[in-house]
Structure 1
Amino acid sequence: MSDNLREALRQKALAEIALLDTPPEREFDVLAKLAQRVLGTGMSSITLIAPERQWFKARCGPLAPQTTRAQAFCPVVVETEAPLTVADARLDPRFAESPFVTGAPNIRYYAGVPVRIQQPDGDRVAIGTLCVLDARPRDPTPNDLEVLEELACVAEALIEARAVALRAAKVAEEHRLAVERLERERRQFKQAERMADMGSYRYDIEKKSTAWSDGVFAIHERPVSGGVPSTGLINHFPEPDRTAFVDAVMRTLDTGEPFEMDADFVTAKGNARRVRCSCEIELSKGKPVALIGLIQDITERHGLEQRLRHQARTDDLTQLANRAEFHRVLDARLREARAANDDVAVLLIDLDGFKGVNDVLGHAAGDAVLRHVADRLRASCDDGCLPARLGGDEFAVVMSADLDRVGVDRKVRRLLHDLEIVAGEHGHIARVTGTIGIAWSSAAAQDRDVLLRQADAALYAAKRTRKGTAQTFQIGTDHRQAG
């Protein structure tokens, strides 16, 4: 390894133990004094070698707290990573001109050994020295270095113990911060749960036990102190959503794919709710150990969506389906008819005399007539029929697929009777009837536009014949089949 790389490694190791520029510590001071006393020198130190200076962690005698690194003795020990003895520095060409020799503290004798620390890869790197110094020359003895090396082992142990304590303190602080962060995140999650009407759950597959967050207890309308009931989540879903939830969970266990679904829900107090559930697998060492998920109360949102959907599909005045909803349902019925090779009937209804109601009795009376017509359409239509207001005084009905031509004819005759309405106010009377055009999807090749054109053609053929009657569209005829 090059000298530059070795030096970089030393400085990195020195920085990691965070010993440089620390306050005095009794253990290091005692060790320096012991070296001084045992070897009988005027000075001693435990020295750390920084890039541009040498700093004394402990020192005895007339030594400054730190000095420049240039022309000093200890850096040579660290750079060579070998012990060094100098009997008389004035006679050693390496140090004879050193300011530490020619001036204070007037060093003549020096003996120093490396102080090393072990790296994670097992390598030991020198970061400083344990040394003794004296202002008088003396002949080194083998005992000098032997004592210093034994004391250096103690210094290394002190540094390692300090480093371990430092790392432990760092780990403890990181743990404390992690605990604080988790607690902060827990509080934030609980706040988010409350704001979003949401909770989380975890089902332990092996233990067959479930844990709920506070938000899940709130959605269930159960006290947290009561604990998770043995019935868990599933029994709060009414059918068919209970089966759908169980099937979704089983698919997640089989495939590992998460799911999300909306479902009806009944709380412990019997209150109906709408909830959104999500679920996914928790793995440990590649093995499923738990199901984790969220449950959110979306009752208010669901209700709003339902109201908006109803408004988008409903005529405001009559509360019948509007034109868009009529087309949507008719398209669905036609798809079913194509698949089953079946036939669907459509009625187009136009009110006769309605303009007179508005002209004679006013628009409020006209609106009342339209609502009255809607009521009679609803009363005449069973579950399989869909009555709708297309606009103005135009109405339509998609008939039930269960009705054959005889059944439709019976319905039409009843409607013609029900749509005879007499409106009167302030001595004025107006009479309203309904004219009906009928078309069957088989004659229109199950095409919506063609079907409606045929029903419209039958309607106006009936009007030309006699208002207040009905006709069925038949290809190649003049559409004069009266109802």
Structure 2
Amino acid sequence: MSDNQREALRQNALAEIALLDTPPEREFDILAKLAQRMLGTGMSSITLIAPERQWFKARCGPMAPETARAQAFCPVVVETEAPLTVADARLDPRFAESPFVTGSPYIRYYAGVPLRVRRPDSGHVTIGTLCVLDERPREPTSTDLEVLEELACVAEALIEARAVALRAAKAAEEHRRAVERLERERRQFKQAERMADMGSYRYDIEKQFTLWSDGVFAIHERPVSAGVPNGEIMNYFPEPDRSIFVAAVRRTLDTGEPFEMDGDFITAKGNARRVRYSCEIELAKGKPVALIGLIQDITERHGLEQRLRHLACTDDLTQLANRAEFHRVLDGRLHEARAADDDVAVLLIDLDGFKGVNDVLGHAAGDAVLRGVADRLRAFCDDGCLPARLGGDEFAVVMPAGLDRVGLDRKVRRLLHELEIVMHGHGHIARVTGTIGIAWSSAAAQNRDVLLRQADAALYAAKRTRKGTAQTYQAGADHRMAG
């Protein structure tokens, strides 16, 4: 990667976290003060490096809010991506003529470490520094950089948390807008219902007779001329929602408490929908005479909620379960295994040669490999299996309980063969294989963390032996080949 490309990557990462030119924040100010106090210097800063300037997110001492980037100390740390100490800047040819040395703030001593942010497509990217400065020369101690690096870890965590919060706020705003749109449509529908009696019903308790507005007929996909199908209304609700609805109506009749519920719904034309039903008692002279309420088609909103849930537990590139969903399912399987005194196997899969695909053929080819691996894992998995992408080129599979070791070894051998992928492009060929680590929950006392550590140990034992193979974890690091 060229210097220009690295600089563009840094500036993109800096723009994504939206930290540049933001107001002071107490947490960052505290970190700068801690660095100053712990190292006993006159100045300190948390510095972000923009294209033409360095801007201080936090600063202590006689420092301007920002300065030119040229001949400054912190850009050197960012460009080299390495810590820097300068005992006496007047004696260092890189900085002796710097206006920050010859003029205010008359820097003599400098110590700085990189601040990095994590990007899913390019790993960690250096965007700035945590540094201390002083007007007097001093010899760096062995702990100066260690202290700064520890504080930089905290600063990076703050930046990451802030970035996560920004992404969450953006997602929440998008969700809020979607909810507002749906709520606006609901209010508009209710206004129309009040004007034209649309989407409302009334059930006469004594006569056991129901009246619908035109909107209810539309939801049921029945013509108004066909009349209300009294005696058959519950047939539009499939089980178990039908029984839930009937029980809710009885509870309302017994207690007088209204209810709202969402349920599946089958129209007269056989179309599946999702509806929201509200119900309350109509009183006459203090006695219940009818049940009244609204029925609302919420299929679109329900679909949106389902899609949001899907997005929350799915890896976007491969459409496999993501790490959070993998952990959730694995925890459930381990809970069941404890109750049934059963055994569950976990496969950890690491792709060999994947970096070469990205380097030689490009990230598009790398993405194609990851999608291909996901397709092979889906084909490999029977009922009860859960394939997942944990991140990067790391995959995992939760196997169903009750599968014996012989059967698993046979399946793993087939999977190893399926994971051999050859990619062509631009006159180059790249080969990818998969290495697999296997662990059983009984050996891990049904503990998820222990189980994954054991699978990871087996994986790297297999890699040390021969890539493209599988090993099963056994106590004492006596790993057995599975293929």
Residue number in structure 2 paired with 1:350: 350
Q: Which residue of 2 aligns with 1:376?
A: 376
The alignment of Structure 1 onto Structure 2 pairs a total of residues equal to: 296
Contact 2:412 2:482 in 1 (8 A): no
Q: Against the structure 1 CA distance between its residues 285 and 413, is the aligned structure 2 distance closer, same or farther, given a 3 Å change threshold?
A: farther
Which residue does 1:228 correspond to in 2?
228
**How far apart are 1:227 and its partner, in Å?**
2.6
Counterpart amino acid of 2:433? Answer: T
1:198·1:219 contact (CA, 8 Å) conserved in 2?
no
Mapped to 2, the partners of 1:413 and 1:286 lie a distance apart of: 74
Kindly tell me: are residues 265 and 432 of structure 1, through their superposed partners in 2, closer, same or farther at Cα, counting changes over 3 Å?
same
| Residue number in structure 1 paired with 2:408 | 408
Take 1:407 and 1:284, find their aligned partners in 2: how far apart are those partners? Answer: 70
In the alignment, residue 264 of structure 2 is paired with which amino acid? D
Further displaced range: 445-454 or 334-343:
334-343
Q: Distance in 2 between matches of 1:348 and 1:245?
A: 45
Q: Check whether the contact 1:248–1:259 (CA below 8 A) recurs between aligned residues.
A: yes
> Would you say the 8 A contact 2:413–2:482 is kept in 1?
no
Report the AA paired with residue 408 of structure 2: V
Partner in structure 2 of residue 218 of structure 1: 218
Q: Deviations over 1:19-77 (max 9, x none)?
A: xxxxxxxxxxxxxxxxxxxxxxxxxxxxxxxxxxxxxxxxxxxxxxxxxxxxxxxxxxx
TM-aligned CA distance change 1:405 to 1:254, over 3 Å: farther
Structure 1 residue aligned with 2:245? 245
Distance change (3 Å), C-alpha of 1:260 and 1:404: farther
How far apart, CA to CA, are the structure 2 residues paired with 1:189 and 1:422? 56
Following the alignment from structure 1 to structure 2, what is the Cα–Cα distance between the partners of residues 408 and 202?
60
For residue 367 of structure 2, what is the amino acid of its counterpart?
D
Alpha-carbon spacing, 1:351–1:256, altered in 2? closer, same or farther (3 Å): same
Alignment pair present for 1:321 and 2:321:
yes
> CA, structure 1 residues 332+199, in 2 after alignment: closer, same or farther (shift >3 Å)?
farther
TM-score (norm 1): 0.56
Q: Is the 8 A contact 1:437 1:472 kept in 2?
A: yes
Structure 1 residues 201, 351: closer, same or farther in 2, change over 3 A?
same
| 1:310 matched residue in structure 2 | 310
Q: Which 5+ residue runs of structure 2 have no aligned equivalent?
A: 1-186
Identity of aligned residues (%): 88
Q: What corresponds to 1:208 in structure 2? A: 208
**1:471 equivalent in structure 2:** 471
Alpha-carbon distance in structure 2 between the residues aligned to 1:356 and 1:335: 40
What is the aligned partner in structure 2 of residue 277 from structure 1?
A: 277
| Contact 2:469 2:481 survives alignment (8 Å) | no
The Cα of 1:477 is off from its aligned counterpart by 3.3
Taking structure 2 as the reference length, what is the TM-score of the superposition? 0.56
Per mean C-alpha deviation after superposition, the further-off stretch among 229-238 and 435-444 is 229-238
SS, match of residue 314 in structure 1: coil
Give the AA of the match of 2:451. Answer: L
Q: Which has the larger radius of gyration?
A: 1
Give distance in 1, aligned partners of 2:189 and 2:354: 61
Distance 1:198-1:243 versus aligned 2 partners, 3 A rule: farther
Once residues 240 and 406 of structure 2 are traced to their aligned partners in structure 1, the CA distance between those partners, rounded to angstroms, is 36
CA separation of 1:190/1:358 partners in 2, compared to 1, >3 Å: closer, same or farther? closer
Gaps of 5+ in 1: 1-186
2:199 alignment counterpart: 199
Q: Is the 8 A contact 1:214 1:224 kept in 2?
A: yes
Secondary structure of 1:347's aligned partner: strand
Match of 2:263 in 1: 263
Shift of 1:335: 2.1
The AA in structure 1 aligned to 2:460 is Y
**Structure 2 counterpart of 1:441, which letter?**
S
Note if contact 1:198-1:297 (Cα within 8 Å) is conserved in structure 2: no
Cα deviation code 1:76-123 (max 9, x no counterpart): xxxxxxxxxxxxxxxxxxxxxxxxxxxxxxxxxxxxxxxxxxxxxxxx
**2-side partners of 1:189 and 1:366: how far apart?**
49
Change (3 A) 1:211 1:402: farther
**Residue number in structure 2 paired with 1:446:** 446
Residues 194 and 215, structure 1, Cα contact 8 Å, conserved in 2: no
Measured on the aligned residues, the alpha-carbon RMSD in Å equals 2.7
Does the 8 A contact of 2:260 with 2:277 survive in 1? yes
SS in 1 for 2:206: coil
Q: CA deviation at 1:334?
A: 1.9
1:435 alignment partner AA = T
| Residues 1:402 and 1:281: Cα distance change in structure 2 (over 3 Å) | farther
1:434 positional shift? 0.6
Please give the secondary structure, in 2, of the residue aligned with 1:476.
helix
Once the 2 structures are TM-superposed, how far is the Cα of residue 397 of structure 1 from its aligned partner? 0.7
CA distance 1:256–1:450, shift in 2 (3 Å) = farther
Paired position in structure 2 for 1:433: 433
Quote the offset at 1:439 in angstroms.
1.4
1:296 matched residue in structure 2: 296
